Amino acid sequence: MNLTPVWVVFLGSIFTNNILFASFLGMCSFLVVSNRIPTAIGLGTAVTFVMFCTTVINFLIYHYILVPLGLDFVSFIIFIAVIAAFVQFLEMFVERFSPSLYYALGIFLPLITVNCAILGASLFMVIRNYNLTQTVFYGLGAGLGWFLAIALMAGLREKMGYSNVPRALRRTGIVMLMAGVIAMTFMGFTGMLSTG
Amino acid sequence: MLPAILAVGVTTAVFIALAVFLLIAERYLVNYGVSNVSINEGSTIFEQDGGTTLLSALYDHKIFVPSACGGKGSCGFCKVVVPEGGGPVLPTELPFLSRAEQRSGVRLSCQVKIKQDIQIQIPEDLLAVKEYRARVSEIRQLTYDIKEINLELIEPEHISHHPGQYVQLQAPDPAGGFIHRAYSISSPVYDDTKVQLVVRLVPDGIASTYVHNLAVGDEVLFTGPYGEFRLNDDPDREIVLVGGGCGMAPLKNIVLTAENRWPGRKVKLFFGARTTKDIFYLDMFKELKEQHPNLEVVYALSDPLGPEEHWDGETGFVHLSVDKYLEQTSRRQAFLCGPPPMISAVMQILGEKGMNPDDIFYDKF
Amino acid sequence: MADSVTTAPVARRRFQPFGGKAGEILLEGVYKANPVTKQVLGICIFLAVTNRVANALVMGAALTFVTAMSNLFISALRNSIPRRIRMIAQVAIIATFVIMIDQFFRGFYWSMSKQLGPYVALIITNCIVMGRAEAYAMQNPPLPSLLDGIANGIGYAIILIFISIVRELVGSGSILGFTILPAAWYTKNLIFLLAPGAFFTGGFLIWILETISPSSQSEEGGERK
């Protein structure tokens, strides 16, 4: 039983426990893909939606199928299968019912399947023993947190284009250092939610 | 044992459930039915199952729209005018379309998915493009990194092309599937049972590595001919050809074809290279000059000469030689083939010499 | 020469007449095309487990095991897997080995398992494992694939261990739990054990390595050629 109030779960997952700045998840696809804000927004929206839906679906499967049968160790395979299937379904659904949305987001969807943050959210949901309501707000919050993280970094990287970054730090190096500073800033949020 | 069996069973059950779910979703969501593809206001119509790209549909019907990247959306060659039925323009197409093109309905056919009845316009020339199977009949090493590949046509047996046109050679892609690369035809048009290519080996280049690994007897596939070079029929018009590197290919074709058809026509060929190691065909052109006094051939080397190199021809970049040897006149046609900076420099000089931009044809490599 | 995250390694290997000798494969995986520093893969796990040398050692071993075994099996099955379900099959094989190692830790090293948390499971989505499966194991016979998996795993592990030594030393004055810098005169820099420290150390590592042996990369902001 996890007794954390729902609003703490929500705000915590965005700020103090930011899935990228605190748990390091979702860096790979971001580093390789985007250094521009429009791309970051597209990717962020897609990830938030997928994270939200898959954590809830995985919660239901985990607690109503796997645990009663004592099969919790199979959860990894099931989670990743659900994520992959969901992303594929989403791609079809969006393309059919909203072509304009598909053209904006569709190219990001295949990238999301291997985004560690999505799987990570489901894993954290299990580790921290959230109930259904908590899971709902956690999935949403974690996604928004990731969105916030990459939007911040994309914005900073765009500005970096005008700075004289040492040659050896270009691309990955400077992003890491930037992320470190932002991570420190986010640590300052800890006082915001006294969970005890 | 029981937990293991149960695990495998439940996992398989979940997988099957997901697969079934996706299949059902696909049937209801992605089923577009059959659409009509109408080309050039109905001169050709065919039916196509929805969901495929326009490019692959056209290829299935033997209409070979040029494509270097094999439909991945990274070359921008497969442009087709789609007045109706193409849906909104995709972000993947925008980098390759100018504003004017977007306004007139130009699309990348590899990105347009057929979901409804669609009308397209394709230039007549493109409809004449065919797929050819050929066999490598001879390979000559021209310089340390340039090879001449001679292909004997198997089927169809003849190719009719204009001097300066190119073909799209098919090469296997290590990542799966095929890619196509454009290579100009260096054999003259009167030799219509063969196609000769001049290919430089580009480090890590998929197609050029494939070509340089070919052996005599190997079979290759290509589509063609493509390209808008058109030789003017007026024998009084001077022909100026400027090329760099493997841009020699189309120029050789034009020189041989022109001298064959109009033996007295003035032809000036300028070829730019870096060192004496990059020179090829010079002896062949010297022989040709003896039969055709109106042919002028200037090779210009841009790099400073090394200790063992002997060169008594022109030096410096090729556009400087063009400037030096051309007179003022507008009765002239020019064909340029080489890297973009060379093209820009030469075009400027040609403009100063009084040429009409419509008389200048170029291929940027 | 350095490789970037493209199919460049594949194109080169395909034209080697003898499929590459064992030593060359190992060298490529460990040094020339090191997953973290050159290919920028597996960052997530790298940042998470390098706060203690013990964690890094164990995770390095786990990843080597998973990459090697999944490379082996995927390579053995590479001609029998239908194209449409290729990715799913790869993921299933990788996930199986991850589950194996995770259960192993839970059974025999419970405290370590708790320390590593979800990061063992995240080996599944770790781009290194998938990357090697797709780029090497699908194209080459089982034995070289096994070696390639071991090499990449070791390359990753070396980096993990090296960085964790730095972080643990600076952060808690110890290595593997043994106090090296006594608390008497050394004030622990706790920030190095936390998230920011991970990012900074990673950034500095990349800085150093890029200065020593630069990759051929395009400039920041350059997109299409």
**Residue in B3, B22, B92 closest to A85 by CB:** B22
State yes or no: pLDDT of B355 exceeds 90: no
Contacts of A92 in chain B (CB under 8 A): 25-26, 29-30
Kind plus residue range of the DSSP H or E element containing A186 = helix A172-187
- Whether residue A81 and residue B91 make contact (CB cut-off 8 A), yes or no, is no
CA A104 to chain C, closest CA, distance in angstroms equals 19
Amino acid A56: pLDDT: 94
State yes or no: pLDDT of A196 exceeds 70: no
Amino acid A139: pLDDT: 94
Mean pLDDT over the full length of chain A: 83
In the predicted model, what is the mean pLDDT of residues A156-160?
82
The residue whose two tokens read 């042919």 is: B295
User: In angstroms, rounded to a whole number, what is the distance separating the alpha carbons of residues C82 and B167?
Assistant: 34
Contact B258, B268 (CB under 8 A): no
Amino acid C131: pLDDT: 76
- Whether residue A170 and residue C220 make contact (CB cut-off 8 A), yes or no, is yes
When scoring C49, C125, C159, C193 by the number of chain A Cβ atoms within 10 A, the one with the most, hence best to mutate, is C125
- Is the minimum CB–CB distance between A72 and chain B shorter than 8 Å? no
Mean pLDDT over the full length of chain C: 76
In the predicted model, what is the mean pLDDT of residues C23-32?
64
DSSP state of B306: P
State yes or no: pLDDT of C222 exceeds 90: no
| Sequence spans of domains, chain C | 39-164
**A146 pLDDT band (50/70/90 cuts)?**
very high
Q: How far is CA B175 from CA A188, B59, B141, B171, in A?
A: 47, 21, 29, 12
Amino acid A32: pLDDT: 59
Check whether the bond before B156 is cis (ω within 30° of 0): yes
Tens-place pLDDT, residues B235-283? 888 888 888 877 788 888 888 888 888 888 888 888 888 888 888 888 8
| Sequence spans of domains, chain B | 33-126, 129-226, 238-364
Contact A21, C35 (CB under 8 A): no
Contacts of A84 in chain C (CB under 8 A): 87-88, 91
- Is the minimum CB–CB distance between A159 and chain C shorter than 8 Å? no
- Is the minimum CB–CB distance between A23 and chain C shorter than 8 Å? yes
- Whether residue B91 and residue A78 make contact (CB cut-off 8 A), yes or no, is no
In the predicted model, what is the mean pLDDT of residues C73-98?
83
And the tokens for C219? 């400039």
CA C175 to chain B, closest CA, distance in angstroms equals 39
When scoring B29, B30, B74 by the number of chain A Cβ atoms within 10 A, the one with the most, hence best to mutate, is B29
Q: Which residues 22-61 in chain A show a CB within 8 A of chain B?
A: 61
- Whether residue C11 and residue B204 make contact (CB cut-off 8 A), yes or no, is yes
**C220 pLDDT band (50/70/90 cuts)?**
very low
In the predicted model, what is the mean pLDDT of residues B159-173?
87
DSSP state of B96: G
User: In angstroms, rounded to a whole number, what is the distance separating the alpha carbons of residues C27 and B125?
Assistant: 53
Contact A2, A130 (CB under 8 A): yes
Number of helices (H), then strands (E), belonging to chain B: the values are 9, 17
- Whether residue A96 and residue B10 make contact (CB cut-off 8 A), yes or no, is no
CA C128 to chain A, closest CA, distance in angstroms equals 10
Contact A40, A163 (CB under 8 A): no
**B137 pLDDT band (50/70/90 cuts)?**
very high
> What is the predicted ipTM?
0.81
State yes or no: pLDDT of C35 exceeds 80: no
Amino acid C223: pLDDT: 29
Find all residues with CB under 8 Å of C68, minimum gap 6, and list them.
C146, C149, C150, C153
State yes or no: pLDDT of A79 exceeds 50: yes
Instruction: Name which of C147, C151, C139, C136 is nearest C27 in CA terms.
Output: C151
In the predicted model, what is the mean pLDDT of residues C4-33?
48
First CA to last CA distance, chain A:
15
Domain B33-126 CATH (choose: 3.40.309.10, 3.10.20.30, 3.50.50.60, 3.40.50.300): 3.10.20.30
Amino acid C8: pLDDT: 34
Contact C54, C201 (CB under 8 A): no
Q: What percent of chain B has pLDDT over 70?
A: 98
- Whether residue A81 and residue B18 make contact (CB cut-off 8 A), yes or no, is yes
Amino acid B135: pLDDT: 92
State yes or no: pLDDT of C119 exceeds 80: yes
**C36 pLDDT band (50/70/90 cuts)?**
low
**A51 pLDDT band (50/70/90 cuts)?**
very high
Instruction: Name which of B266, B257, B243 is nearest B327 in CA terms.
Output: B266
Cβ-based neighbour number of residue C131 at 10 Å: 20
Q: How far is CA C81 from CA B12, B183, C74, in A?
A: 17, 36, 9
Contact C164, C51 (CB under 8 A): yes
**Residue in C10, C11, C224 closest to B95 by CB:** C224
- Whether residue A82 and residue B6 make contact (CB cut-off 8 A), yes or no, is no
State yes or no: pLDDT of A122 exceeds 80: yes
**Residue in C48, C96, C207 closest to A168 by CB:** C207
Q: How far is CA B143 from CA B30, B105, B279, B302, in A?
A: 53, 44, 7, 17
State yes or no: pLDDT of A30 exceeds 80: no
Find all residues with CB under 8 Å of C160, minimum gap 6, and list them.
C46, C49, C50, C56, C57, C59, C60
When scoring B18, B20, B93 by the number of chain A Cβ atoms within 10 A, the one with the most, hence best to mutate, is B18
CA angle A50, A51, A57 (to 5 degrees): 85
Amino acid A29: pLDDT: 65
Alpha-helix residue ranges (DSSP H) falling in B61-113: 99-103
Tens-place pLDDT, residues B91-112? 778 878 888 888 888 998 888 8
**C30 pLDDT band (50/70/90 cuts)?**
low
- Whether residue C8 and residue B204 make contact (CB cut-off 8 A), yes or no, is yes
- Whether residue A74 and residue B7 make contact (CB cut-off 8 A), yes or no, is yes
In the predicted model, what is the mean pLDDT of residues B153-179?
85
Q: Taking the mean position of all CA atoms in its chain, how far away is CA C154?
A: 8
Q: What would the CATH number be for the domain defined by B238-364?
A: 3.40.50.80
The residue whose two tokens read 């940027």 is: B364
Contact B78, B108 (CB under 8 A): yes
Contacts of B29 in chain A (CB under 8 A): 92-93, 95-96
Highest mean pLDDT pick, B48-62, B161-175, C18-32, C174-188: B161-175
User: In angstroms, rounded to a whole number, what is the distance separating the alpha carbons of residues A151 and C92?
Assistant: 33
Q: Taking the mean position of all CA atoms in its chain, how far away is CA B220?
A: 16
- Whether residue A99 and residue B30 make contact (CB cut-off 8 A), yes or no, is no
**Residue in B95, B206, B213 closest to C11 by CB:** B206
- Is the minimum CB–CB distance between A143 and chain C shorter than 8 Å? no
Amino acid A57: pLDDT: 94
DSSP secondary structure, A154-185, as one string:
HHHHHHHTTS---GGGTTHHHHHHHHHHHHHH
Q: Which of B122-136, B152-166, C6-20 has the lowest mean pLDDT?
A: C6-20
Residue of C nearest to B172 (CA): C11
Amino acid A194: pLDDT: 60
**C7 pLDDT band (50/70/90 cuts)?**
very low
CA B226 to chain A, closest CA, distance in angstroms equals 32
User: In angstroms, rounded to a whole number, what is the distance separating the alpha carbons of residues B123 and B49?
Assistant: 24
Please classify residue B135 by burial: count the beta carbons closer than 10 Å to its beta carbon, then call 0-12 exposed, 13-18 middle and 19+ buried.
Answer: middle
When scoring C5, C45, C87, C122 by the number of chain A Cβ atoms within 10 A, the one with the most, hence best to mutate, is C122
- Whether residue B18 and residue A70 make contact (CB cut-off 8 A), yes or no, is no
User: In angstroms, rounded to a whole number, what is the distance separating the alpha carbons of residues A138 and A1?
Assistant: 15
The residue whose two tokens read 């990449």 is: C152
Q: Which residues 80-99 in chain A show a CB within 8 A of chain C?
A: 80-81, 84
Amino acid C4: pLDDT: 36
Highest mean pLDDT pick, B95-104, B136-145, B237-246, B349-358: B136-145
Please list, residue by residue across C153-179, b when 16 or more beta carbons sit within 10 angstroms of its beta carbon and e when fewer do.
bbbbbbbbeebbbbbbbbbbbbbeeee
Amino acid C2: pLDDT: 37
Amino acid C224: pLDDT: 28
Mean pLDDT over the full length of chain B: 84
State yes or no: pLDDT of B49 exceeds 90: no
Instruction: Report the neighbours of B using a cutoff of 3 or more CB pairs below 8 angstroms.
Output: A, C
Contact A66, A33 (CB under 8 A): no
Dihedral sign (CA A132, A134, A140, A142) = negative
Q: Which of B42-51, B125-134, B218-227 has the lowest mean pLDDT?
A: B42-51
Tens-place pLDDT, residues C189-209? 888 888 888 888 888 888 887
Q: β-strands B332-338, B238-244: how paired? A: parallel
Between B176 and A87, the higher pLDDT residue: A87
Amino acid C225: pLDDT: 26
- Is the minimum CB–CB distance between A104 and chain B shorter than 8 Å? yes
CA A2 to chain B, closest CA, distance in angstroms equals 27
User: In angstroms, rounded to a whole number, what is the distance separating the alpha carbons of residues B30 and B296?
Assistant: 62
- Is the minimum CB–CB distance between A89 and chain B shorter than 8 Å? yes
Q: Which residues pair with C96 in a beta bridge?
A: none
- Whether residue A27 and residue C191 make contact (CB cut-off 8 A), yes or no, is no
State yes or no: pLDDT of C33 exceeds 70: no
Tens-place pLDDT, residues C145-154? 898 888 888 8
State yes or no: pLDDT of A140 exceeds 90: yes
B129-226: CATH topology is Elongation Factor Tu (Ef-tu); domain 3 (2.40.30)
